[in-house]
Amino acid sequence: MFSLRKPTMGSVRRVLKRQAVLDFSYPAVGATATSQPAGYVTDRTRIMLGSGEPIFLAAKAALQRWEHFRLGWVEPWPPETPIQSGEVVAIMAWTAGLWTLNCCRIVYVVDEAGSITRFGFAYGTLPGHVESGEELFQIEWDQNTNRVWYDILAFSRPNHFLTRLAYPLVRHTQKRFGRDSAAAMFRAVNSASPLPEVCQSTS
């Protein structure tokens, strides 16, 4: 959904209600946990958040609050959407003079303890989304090095004629989202530290 004006809460509710009963808009549901499918662009973003269990727990709490989507130009709705499989969330974004409203459903949740402790979730696009694909957001604490990382893994392809027409802008926006999301997570757990390098790759 594209709009010149920011969607009202009423319109977001209506779109979310319609999309919530639909199936995913891509066949490879859950593929962020295995191997990414052919025919999609795969993007990876990674940033080191700090060291130790307190950073991991703070980052986990930030992810549960959707801090990684509170970017000024992107916001989730409902903002208190639980991180649970099957939950549906609408993402509003302002870019290139237009608002977009896209709905996704949480595919699975990662909650693993061990020498490498992980928490995160993946969501997949629903039919009204301007893109088609899946995205994984994950916090990882490697207890061998004590480092805590935030990772995004996404595979996508256009699902609307406007995203196909303006694909270079779409790719720029996707990369920007990765960088801004990484920065938001870092600042959620580090109030004064300088931002470290954000590593991004595409395949």
**Tens digit of each residue's pLDDT, the chain (203 residues):** 677 788 888 999 999 999 999 999 999 999 999 998 999 999 999 999 999 999 999 999 999 999 999 999 999 999 999 999 999 999 999 988 889 999 999 999 999 999 999 999 999 999 999 999 999 999 999 999 999 999 999 999 998 888 888 888 999 999 999 999 999 999 999 987 899 999 999 99
Question: What is this structure's pTM?
Answer: 0.95
The domain tally of the chain equals 1
CATH number, position 144: 3.30.530.20
Q: Helix or strand or coil: residue 62?
A: helix
Pairing of strands 41-51, 147-158: antiparallel
Residue 201 has a CB neighbour count (10 Å cut-off) of: 9
Domain that holds residue 59: 2-202
- Tell me which long-range contacts 187-192 makes (C-beta under 8 A, separation of at least 24): 188/58, 188/59, 188/62, 188/67, 189/49, 189/50, 189/55, 189/58, 189/59, 189/62, 190/49, 190/50
